Chain A
């Protein structure tokens, strides 16, 4: 049923659903209001689904009910069982489903245009779809397909099924640009030829380009990739909304599209990299350059007992977590350590860099999981001035986001990136697996060789547990 044939109350129901979604996002401005926001989002979704079902033929209700039940059961099971450290992969997997759903809806609209009222009046027998609608349909299917295959690759990389290293094909920029040009050309051609091959080729090329775009991007650029795919899933929904003239899909798609775009921007800014350079790929993975030099310079090694002594004597400790903490699942042990320190009268704060981890807000969720109160967790700009009055900066699983070279060394690849000023603390305790490895940018960290730095070489979780033992 086309929009003009729908009763007014359905259009109003879609509007209300859209408002519910806006309020759901608004609720996330503070943890206190966020839970209510999430519930309003659910209400909005229920309104949109019920209103749609109410004005359509209910003959297939049993099948629809079965499809919702199957999908819902799978979704709820995953949501209940998933580990918090696996959240980036889960979000990538969910994005891929939105992309695939957009492609399926596009295909269904192509096969049965009458159901959506997008046939040119008077050409019902030929089932000619309105040319403008074909453009929107082509775009929707293309963005949906890119979202799907791109998210599948992001999932495989984040889940460790595929190396996090960038995979660089020769002449990849030429291949990518040619493929994108071909897709756009075909979408244009789709307006004069409604042949099935055009539709299928647009979808196939778009699946390919999603794959090609993400494989050259390294693991550490994943916060940008995952935000970008979030944005694409929104634009796909919006494009299908244009195709089907459905306001609920357009409003929501625009909201989600802007949310992902803003997150991508925040992530790029936090790495001081342009969006184009991230998309071009090739950065990240586990580079080894500079590792040889690292061995030659003097550095201090400390034990868990040394660390426990320094922490116990401190007035203020700032903990700087990174992806290594997630890998080692050290967040619970870390909170235990912080509890003991607090009982001894030490002020404990956490400092989070925007790109710490593999997705925006990754560290905050892990700390919340370990029962760290959110008012002890601070963002970079709110806490950075405090390192100068801090006795111990405890860096665990973070590296490049603490590198002072970003402020001083113009030749460094991370020059200009905002970093946490941990070196201003009286002592820096740096938990790291070994001296050999370097951060994702492939640069050595100046911090290791400073007089006030003590390296704690061990698995992050084991080291923290030993410190906890020594503190007792």
Chain B
């Protein structure tokens, strides 16, 4: 992919992010932070490529370390978000 296509994807995603995040209710700003934390660990994809590749043992181990760190974040981030969201209840009438 050339740089311009990648840049286009990036810029358009920024706009999507901008409008979507403004629609988030302020009451859920803490879960917003924990869930964005979890999804930014999609960087695990980069770590997986290094961990799976042959050629450099050092790169492989760095990749595995990256997978473990991102793993903490993915599982921890989604789980803690789910835990917080399960507490938000409506008034019983």
Contact = CB atoms under 8 A, between A and B. Distances in A.
Given A41-B78, A237-B42, A105 B28 contact: no
Given A97-B70, A364-B28, A91 B47 contact: no
Interface in B18-61: 18, 20-56, 58-60
Contacts of A376: 91
Contacts, number: 379
Interface size grouping (class) on chain B: 35 or more
A44 B74 CA distance: 11
Contact of B69 (A26, A104, A262): A104
A268 interface: no
Given A361-B30, A373-B89, A240 B76 contact: no
Given A71-B68, A105-B46, A249-B46, A365 B73 contact: no
B82 A38 contact: yes
Contact of A56 (B16, B31, B48): B48
Contacts of A230: 33, 36-37
A245 B10 CA distance: 11
A94 B34 CA distance: 8
Interface residues of A, number: 119
B79 to A, nearest CB: 4
B37 A112 contact: no
Nearest to B50: A108
Contact of A64 (B14, B51, B69): B51
A41 B25 contact: no
Interface of A: 1, 3-4, 14, 17-18, 21-22, 24-26, 28-31, 34-35, 37-38, 41-42, 44-45, 48-49, 52-53, 56-61, 63-64, 67-76, 78-80, 82, 84, 87, 90-91, 94-95, 97-98, 100-102, 104-105, 107-109, 111-112, 114-116, 132, 226-227, 230, 233-234, 236-238, 240-242, 244-260, 262-263, 266, 352, 354, 359-362, 364-365, 368-369, 371, 373-377, 379
Given A98-B43, A237-B43, 19 more contacts: A18-B13, A25-B24, A26-B23, A37-B35, A45-B38, A45-B42, A56-B48, A63-B64, A67-B65, A74-B76, A94-B38, A95-B37, A97-B69, A242-B10, A246-B46, A250-B6, A255-B21, A369-B87, A373-B90
